[in-house]
Structure 1
Amino acid sequence: MRRLLGRAPEVLTALALAAAGAALLAGCVRPGGSDGDLTDDWPALSAPLPFTPASGVCMPRITPVVQAATYETVDCARNHLAEAVHVGTFTGAVARQRERPEPGSPGLRAARAECDQRAREVLGGDWHSARLALNIALPTVPAWRGGARWFRCDLSETNSIDNTRPINRTGSLRGAMIGDSALVHGCFDPKLIGDNLNYMAPVLCTEPHRAEFVGVYVERDMSWDEFVKADQQAHKRCMALIAAFAAVPNNSDLPYRAGSIFYPPSQREWQEGDRGVRCFLWSDDRKLTRSMRGAGPQGLPAI
């Protein structure tokens, strides 16, 4: 969902031990110093640990559920679709639940928040501000019931702000948002069908354009349906970001300087706890040929 508001006032060991035991029994002779009990001096085998995926590795595919039998990683220098930037652990009441956390549950929302923070640390910036997607992978239901309590945070590069389908990339995303990065959102020339936004074509800010990314705000906690109905509230929050970005007053003249376009998380991301809304400055009256960052009232006049 996206909104354009202008001036709306992813055996050998066992066999060897068995053979040794058979040889001793066949001789019926106790080795010197032995008590004849072949079992009491062996340490008990520890319980097998549940499978846990690795962090800091890349994967050829994106899966919301990870199975040990099909788990696969690749060198991040090769083509891949996702990078595991963190593996966390469910604790407390969530870890004691028989059923795995699902979208909308407090446990998964807390995991999503942890993933968000770790992704920012790895990237060097807010992933919402770039062509990136953050996904959570969980154990299978049988694995959860068998004691697995991990969650994995996966980052992927996407095609565009409109098409968030992950694309193949080479190289780790570590530090990808530090300095001048081609992943970070910049200026766009929006394509409309009538008054409806069709898609955002990325362009250089020195080329004619009508939109520019200005930042992200975190929406208050509400249901998805409530958010959908509150587009004017999102518009107002984005307009405040636009004013700060362009260094113009946030007053009654602001709607005559620019409008807003905003991209919220997907419904699934929202239910998992993502509340980051991406905001864009929208110039519906004139083409811009420079970034509006710090433009001031003269650079972004009221018309």
Structure 2
Amino acid sequence: MRRWTAAVAVGGALALGLTGCGLPGGVDGELTNNWQPIAEPSPFVPPAEVCHPGDFAETAYLSSYSPVDCAAPHRIETVHVGAFGAAAAEAAALPTQDSAEIRAAYAECDTKTTEYVGADWRLGRLWVGVAVPSPAAWEGGARWFRCDVTEVTNVEDNGGTASRTASLRDALAEPSPLHLTCYGVRNDSNGAIDTMPAEQCDQPHNAEFAGVWQAPDIPYPTRDRDWSQFHAECRKVIGRYAGVPLDDNLQFRTGVISLPGGAAEWAAGNRGVRCYLWLNERNVSKSLKGAGADGLPIQFE
């Protein structure tokens, strides 16, 4: 019995030895020639249509990236993520805020935000910014830019950002509390505009949002001569809004408030100027949209 068992064991060893000399079907003996190459690591690209709890920052650091569902409290919503063009993509450093690359990115964000919210975003209490990767992420190959939109409490008085619990998608597609309407302008002791709180149009007010003038590529206004051009163009917006002739008498029908964004936004490419008719100390209790010459009569005093 022991001899038979030993013979079987030896035979098994011989069989294993013989088997090791051949290869199973479909095996060529090369260990690496069918391996897929390891993909090059790619930089992080943030998704669109997500919300963020913090305030807007021009530089988006991965360490502070913590998106939330738009039904949760948030202040910023990313509506689009784009890619810089070839000139910027080949640059070693991030484009500056007044560069052609940032202006192109802002123009894309402008268009995408308007599509996202359902109308020109400047018609509402909204603000748009372009966020870029951190310098370290740029060095690592990140070439994206983020289009962020936020609701503000009052665009006229440089209001703060509002906390929301709903997405801004199609927020301006229908009439909503976000739309700019009527205001009660209050002057300071020198006669300059001090505050401009929103009012219901059926309540006494002396100012009303009339529309947006898209300015050409001109310098940001700093002198009275610069502002004169802005006011003249906004008066045309007001005249079309109220339905009155765009003639020399228009200046006697209404005052005007011209509100571009800040100088930094202007440098980045925001050329939209919000235009408001202003009755100074005269109050009305209705909207003057389409009111015509009777609703906006000539006032020589």
Match of 2:125 among 131, 136, 157: 131
Equivalent pairs: percent with the same residue? 39
Task: Measure how far apart 1:36 and its partner are.
Answer: 6.7
Contact 1:133 1:164 (8 Å CA) reproduced: no
In structure 2, the partner of 1:60 is 53
1:53-102 Cα offsets, whole Å, 9 max, x none, are 01011111122222223311101011001110000011222211111111
Contact 1:30 1:36 (8 Å CA) reproduced: no
In structure 2, the partner of 1:11 is none
Q: 2:95 aligned with 1:120, yes or no?
A: no
Contact 1:86 1:152 (8 Å CA) reproduced: yes
Give me the whole-angstrom Cα distance separating, in 1, the residues matched to 2:215 and 2:34.
62
Q: Any residues of structure 2 matched to 1:244-263 within 5 Å, and which?
A: 244-263=240-259
RMSD: 1.9
1:122-173 Cα offsets, whole Å, 9 max, x none, are 1111111111110111111121122111101001000102134212111000
Q: Any residues of structure 2 matched to 1:1-303 within 5 Å, and which?
A: 32=23, 38-61=31-54, 62-161=56-155, 162-194=157-189, 195-224=191-220, 229-303=225-299
Contact 2:185 2:280 (8 Å CA) reproduced: no
1:210-253 Cα offsets, whole Å, 9 max, x none, are 00000011112123366775000001001111111111111122
Give me the whole-angstrom Cα distance separating, in 1, the residues matched to 2:181 and 2:38.
58
Bigger relative CO (Cα 8 Å, ≥ 6 apart): 1
Q: 1:73 to 1:300 in 2, by over 3 A?
A: same
Aligned letter for 1:240?
Answer: K
Task: Measure how far apart 1:35 and its partner are.
Answer: 6.9
Aligned letter for 1:81?
Answer: R
Aligned length: 275
SS of the residue 1:125 aligns to: coil
Contact 2:151 2:161 (8 Å CA) reproduced: yes
TM-score, structure 1 normalization? 0.86
4+ residue stretches of structure 1 with deviation over 3 A? 29-41, 225-229
Contact 1:189 1:211 (8 Å CA) reproduced: yes
Give me the whole-angstrom Cα distance separating, in 2, the residues matched to 1:253 and 1:178.
35
Task: Measure how far apart 1:285 and its partner are.
Answer: 4.6
SS of the residue 1:277 aligns to: strand
Unaligned runs of 5+ in 2: 1-19
Unaligned runs of 5+ in 1: 1-28
Larger Rg: 2
